[in-house]
Structure 1
Amino acid sequence: MRSPGPGPKRRRPVLIGIAGGTGSGKSTVARAIARHIHRRNLAIVEQDAYYRDQSHLPLEERKRVNYDHPDAFDSDLLFDHVCKLLRRQPIEKPVYSFEQHVRLPETVHVEARDVIVLEGILVLDDKRLRDLMDIKIYVDTDPDVRVIRRILRDIRYRGRTIEAVIHQYLTVVRPMHLEFVEPTKRYADLIIPEGGRNEVAVDILVAKIRSMIGRIDSRC
Structure 2
Amino acid sequence: MQSSRPVIIGVAGGTGSGKTTVAQEIFKQFQGSSIVLIEQDAYYKNQDHLSFEERLKTNYDHPLAFDNELLYTHLLQLADRAPIEKPSYDYANHTRAKEVTRIEPKDVIILEGILILEDERLRSLMDIKAFVDTDADIRIIRRLMRDTKERGRSIDSVIEQYTSVVRPMHLQFVEPTKRYADVIIPEGGQNKVAIDLLATKIHTVVANKSLHG
Match of 2:190 in 1: 197
Q: CA deviation at 1:157?
A: 3.4
- 1:181 counterpart (169, 174, 185): 174
Cα contact 2:11–2:131 (8 A) shared by 1: yes
Q: What is the number of equivalent residue pairs in this alignment?
A: 211
Unaligned segments of structure 1, at least 5 residues: 1-7
Secondary structure, counterpart of 1:53 in structure 2: coil
| TM-score w.r.t. length of structure 1 | 0.90
Structure-2 separation of matches of 1:154 and 1:90: 34
Q: CA deviation at 1:51?
A: 0.5
Structure-1 separation of matches of 2:172 and 2:4: 37
Match of 2:40 in 1: 47
What is the alpha-carbon root mean square deviation over aligned residues? 1.8
Higher mean C-alpha deviation, range 149-158 or range 79-88: 149-158
Match of 2:53 in 1: 60
Matched ranges for 1:39-188 at <5 A: 39-188=32-181
- What amino acid does structure 1 have at the position aligned with 2:85? E
What percent identity do the matched residue pairs reach? 56
Report the structure number with the largest CA radius of gyration. 1
Could you say if the C-alpha distance between residues 32 and 14 of structure 1 is closer, same or farther in structure 2, counting changes exceeding 3 Å?
same
Structure-2 separation of matches of 1:153 and 1:69: 20
Could you say if the C-alpha distance between residues 62 and 159 of structure 1 is closer, same or farther in structure 2, counting changes exceeding 3 Å?
farther
Structure-1 separation of matches of 2:41 and 2:89: 8
Unaligned segments of structure 2, at least 5 residues: none
- What amino acid does structure 1 have at the position aligned with 2:188? G
Match of 2:13 in 1: 20
Q: Deviations over 1:94-127 (max 9, x none)?
A: 1101222110101111111111000000000000
Higher mean C-alpha deviation, range 130-139 or range 157-166: 157-166
Structure-2 separation of matches of 1:29 and 1:73: 22
Cα contact 1:98–1:158 (8 A) shared by 2: no
| TM-score w.r.t. length of structure 2 | 0.93
Could you say if the C-alpha distance between residues 119 and 39 of structure 1 is closer, same or farther in structure 2, counting changes exceeding 3 Å?
farther
Match of 1:3 in 2: none
